[in-house]
Structure 1
Amino acid sequence: MPLPHFLMLIVFVIVMAGVTIWAFAMSGMPIATLGLMVLIAAGVMRLMARVE
């Protein structure tokens, strides 16, 4: 992957994370709820991806 594409990918991910946090904050729900949702989703993905 060429360096400019890689850097654009990193910028895209950072911008989309910011948009997600902003949209969640504008909905009136606490940011801690978003953190809990992300933590649960990461745990579920970890359990689904086990390769033991």
Structure 2
Amino acid sequence: MTTLYCAICAGRFEPDQDHVKLDAEHVRIDDRNDQEMYVLHPECYRRLTGGWMEPA
């Protein structure tokens, strides 16, 4: 089984444990877009996004 590492705290966990998958895309006007995928512990995600407004 693949071991995952939290993008915030670098703690490890297994894919069958609760986690958040975050897809990020850097959109560029004159160049190719960059896409990255991150995984986080649910509590690290809540701490990171606690002050964010709701998605549109």
TM-score, with length taken from structure 2: 0.29
TM-score after normalising by structure 1: 0.30
Higher relative contact order (CA 8 A, sep 6+): 2
Which of structures 1 and 2 has the bigger CA Rg? 1
